[in-house]
């Protein structure tokens, strides 16, 4: 066994080094492209102009609002459903897993084509009903709730995996029965007994959803809205260095959030273990 571990270590280092180069070399090339201006040398003008560029703040705020709404909706939908599934119908787990994995199979173009058909069909056939205003309201450019509905569907595979891993690591039935025996109702048992033990899984699901919303382009572009990812692509033609600088900063912020999440999750597990 010791000989096997000794032979594996060099390959482990080589694999990690190759993976690091695979991710860091394109990032370094992007940074060089943003700071190296022919005839001017090294300048950080592309980064200093980001905040003042037209559309940056509005598109970023819109994406953050969409991300917050998507996280709330998808967690309110999935957490009770998965807890109920684990307690009352564990045999349906494969069915739910397949249904939640469908967004990975359906191409975004086909998904948007179906949504566009429904959005066009609704006003034409429901113009004399109260639902007409609903179709208008969910397509409000200031806050297109239709994108939230789209992102909820697209986030289902990632949220399902994160929550499923968290639920597998705990005895949900025992926690709920203990809470119920102390006089708690089902909502109280979920909030006070299950959710605190799902903190890491909830953070993982929220982070994955945030990353999905901030980076999603196809659905928003084809539906005619301009969140952050669409704004970056739109300015890339006239201000290439600026768009790459924004992308680099977005990637660094995403990595920082991931590291903060990992650190927070590690501290939570350590605190739970010490209390136990």
Domain spans of the chain, in order of start: 55-268
Predicted TM-score (pTM) above 0.95: no
- Chain mean pLDDT for the chain: 82
Task: Give the 3-state secondary structure of the chain.
Answer: CHHHHHHHHHHHHHHHHHHHHHHHHHHHHHHHHHHEECCCEECCHHHHCCCCCCCHHHHHHHHHHHHHHHHHHHHHHHHHHHHHHHHHCHHHHHHHHHHHHHHHHCCHHHHHHHHHHHHHHHHHHCCCCCHHHHHHHCCCCCCCHHHHHHHHHHHHHHHHHHHHHHHHCCCHHHHHHHHHHCCCCHHHHHHHHHHHHHHHHHHHHHHHHHHHHHHCCHHHHHHCCCCHHHHHHHHHCCCHHHHHHHHHHHHHHHHHHHHHHHHHHHHHHHHHHHHC
Please give the pLDDT value at position 62. Answer: 93
Q: What is the pLDDT of residues 176-223, one digit of tens each?
A: 878 778 777 777 878 777 888 888 888 889 988 988 998 888 899 988
pLDDT score, position 133: 79
The CATH superfamily assigned to 55-268 is MetI-like (1.10.3720.10)
């Amino acid at each position: 066994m010791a000989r096997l571990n000794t032979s594996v270590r060099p390959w482990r280092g080589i694999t990690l080094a190759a993976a690091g180069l695979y991710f860091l070399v394109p990032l370094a090339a992007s940074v060089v492209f943003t700071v190296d201006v022919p005839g001017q040398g090294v300048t950080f003008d592309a980064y200093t102009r980001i905040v003042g560029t037209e559309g940056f703040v509005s598109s970023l705020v819109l994406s953050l609002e969409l991300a917050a709404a998507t996280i709330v909706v998808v967690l309110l939908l999935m957490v009770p459903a998965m807890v109920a599934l684990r307690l009352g119908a564990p045999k349906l787990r494969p069915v739910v897993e397949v249904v939640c994995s469908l967004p990975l199979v359906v191409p975004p173009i086909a998904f948007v084509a179906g949504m566009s058909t429904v959005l066009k069909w609704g006003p034409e056939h429901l113009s004399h009903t109260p639902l007409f205003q609903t179709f208008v309201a969910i397509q409000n450019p200031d806050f297109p709730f239709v994108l939230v509905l789209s992102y909820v569907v697209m986030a289902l595979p990632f949220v399902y995996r994160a929550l499923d891993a968290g639920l597998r690591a705990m005895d949900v039935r025992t926690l709920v029965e203990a809470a119920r025996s102390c006089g708690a109702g089902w909502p109280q048992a979920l909030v006070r007994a299950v959710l605190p033990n799902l903190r890491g899984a909830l953070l993982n699901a929220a982070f994955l959803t945030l990353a999905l919303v901030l980076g999603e382009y196809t659905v928003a572009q084809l539906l005619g809205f301009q969140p952050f990812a669409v704004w970056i692509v739109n300015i890339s033609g006239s201000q290439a260095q600026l768009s790459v600088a924004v992308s680099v900063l977005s990637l660094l912020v995403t990595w920082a959030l991931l590291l903060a999440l990992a650190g927070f999750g590690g501290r939570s597990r350590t605190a739970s273990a010490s209390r136990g």
